[in-house]
Chain A
Amino acid sequence: MADDTQDNKTPQDTPKSTPESSVEKKVTTPTPDSAPEKPAPKAVAKPKPPAKPKAPAEPPVAPSADKLVVSSSPHFLNDESIPKIMHNVVLALVPAMAASVYYYGLRAVLLLVVCLVTCLVTEHLFLMARKRPTKIYDGSAAITGILLGLMLPPGFSIFGAILGSFFAVAVGKQLFGGLGYNIFNPALLGRAFLMATYPVMSTSWMEPRTVQAAVDAVSAATPLALLKFEGEFSPVLNMFTGNVAGSMGETSVIAILIGGLFLRYKGYINWKLPLGYLGTIAMFSGIFWLIDPSKYANPLFHLCAGGAMLGAWFMVTDMVTSPTTPKGQWIFVVCAGILAVVIRLFGGLPEGVMYSILFMNAFVPLINRHTRPKIFGTMKRNSH
């Protein structure tokens, strides 16, 4: 019997030790967490109370002289703030939104509004549940909602849009810890979730209003699907303006370009990212085009088709989910571009932009770690 009682401890050890350690944690964690939070306004009386050292969205621009706050990206050095940048990104998306409304009518308005509102509400609820100050006005959740809406087919169900938006913000962003901590681009993650959840609805497109005047909702294939499954080339000019079937905001290249160039003009995006991505797509698809022009489409087609433009200007350039070092950015965009073309040409799906960016997002921490700039003046280690 003594043998019995002694050995019984082994399985019991696990549940026993967990409450103990959690109690210990609970005792210790409030001290660092709440200490800078509460006394800060009282005792220090800084002009701006540095709201929690953890909050990533707060500008780390000289919060106070006494400590260095290291927070996650996005980083910036000038007087820009995250809300300002995000609101300008929303502004940059206006042409694409306008194009989607022009080509798909009220349906586009409805889907965009549903995505936007769901993202904001989800963000608010999660921040409330985590007892954080609400940050839905900083625009990051709004961008997620708009981008997700732009990536949806025009005939998508409203419930599906709500589900995807919820997933994008809840799982893609808040479960990782909020803005700055997410590994994957939330909008793309939401789109990928919808792709797996509603595979049929996610890939059934319709002609824009401008193509067929009288009848509404005529189903049609995207240029990429036409090429892949029918071997049919679509005119590039139509794809440039957006007069083809496709996801609501992805089709109009010109509208996306206007927004993207506006962002570049404001200096929010690094030219390496979009141009590197598009250049890789063009060069890599160009190789195949040169080999067999009758089978493979020309690079211009690949640049204008599908989500390449929207992905290049608004998702590859996501400050949170792209590498921070110049070398790392090159690795990121070149690999993503090659992946996108490989999926388009040889994969089962007609479009590969979404998965190429999501796939490379997963490697960003690794890329960042291995492309750290060398510290000036240090010796090269032989053992390395």
Chain B
Amino acid sequence: MATHNSLGHEFKKGLWADIHPFRVLLGLCPALAVTNSFVNGLAMGLAALFVMVSANVIVSVFRKLIVSEVRIPAYVVIISSLVTITDLFLAAMFPAISKALGPYIPLIIVNCMILGRVEAFAAKNPVLPTVMDSLGIGVGFTISLCIMGGLREVLGFGSIMGFQVLGSWFEPWIIMILPAGAFLVLGGLIALVNYINDKKAAKAS
């Protein structure tokens, strides 16, 4: 029972308490760079989710074998193999998305979020909690990117997933699909999350 509870906790913490781009401020590079549309955010999130879970599971399985002095190179080799799989898969199945994401898929290799989870959690924990933890963090990351991508697409193009949702009266805010818009949206969302947490804390105390 206790294990069950803690497993649920490992999953849930990635969705709010430790949601990476907004609370821990890790994984910001993809969050800022590719979220100019909902689909790009979703694709990036799913790619990172796949790499995240697989890398964490592999590291967790081999955690007793990996010598601690060379653990970072070992992690990077594992992660980069997985990223290469993802990159080739996207290029073969979704060439348009692969082109839109550009170098940011290969850059998942050095994503601090994945390296951080591997180092902080998978290297010290058995497989089952690791799966839940990485799944939670990855899903939280995907949701964050989808929110950012959705907001920026609605404001920057007036559309969502390519469908025009705002009428012709709406003059698109070009800034939202520029890098500056990414920072504005990210800052706004971080502020919102902090505000909600502050409210919660005030209510609790």
**Which of A's residues lie within 8 Å of B, judged by CB?**
3-5, 7-8, 10-12, 14-15, 19, 22-23, 26, 157, 159-160, 163, 171, 193, 196-199, 201
Contact B18 A14 (CB under 8 A): yes
Partner of A10, one of B120, B171, B173: B120
Interface-side segment among B95-103, B125-133, B158-166? B125-133
12 A-B pairs in the complex with CB atoms less than 8 angstroms apart: A3-B124, A4-B125, A8-B10, A8-B125, A8-B129, A11-B133, A12-B13, A15-B18, A23-B201, A23-B205, A26-B205, A159-B171
Contact B126 A198 (CB under 8 A): no
B121 at the interface (CB under 8 A from A): yes
Which residues of chain A are within 8 angstroms of B72 by Cβ–Cβ distance? none
Q: How far apart sit A3 and B126, CA to CA, in the bound complex (Å)?
A: 9
Q: Nearest 8 pairs between A and B by C-beta?
A: A196-B175, A7-B124, A197-B175, A15-B17, A197-B173, A199-B174, A10-B120, A11-B121
Q: How far apart sit A367 and B129, CA to CA, in the bound complex (Å)?
A: 52
Main secondary structure on A side of the interface with B: helix
Contact B205 A198 (CB under 8 A): no
Contact A198 B120 (CB under 8 A): no
Contact A157 B171 (CB under 8 A): yes
Which residues of chain A are within 8 angstroms of B171 by Cβ–Cβ distance? 157, 159-160, 198, 201
Contact A4 B175 (CB under 8 A): no
B81 at the interface (CB under 8 A from A): no
Q: Apart from A22-B201, A26-B205, A196-B175, what 17 extra A-B contacts exist at CB < 8 Å? A: A8-B6, A8-B125, A10-B121, A11-B13, A11-B18, A11-B120, A11-B133, A12-B13, A14-B24, A15-B13, A19-B201, A171-B184, A196-B178, A197-B176, A198-B173, A199-B174, A201-B171
Q: How far apart sit A197 and B181, CA to CA, in the bound complex (Å)?
A: 9
Which residues of chain A are within 8 angstroms of B126 by Cβ–Cβ distance? 4
Known: A4-B129, A197-B175, A198-B171. Is A10-B124 also a contact (CB below 8 A)? yes
Which residues of chain B are within 8 angstroms of A159 by Cβ–Cβ distance? 171
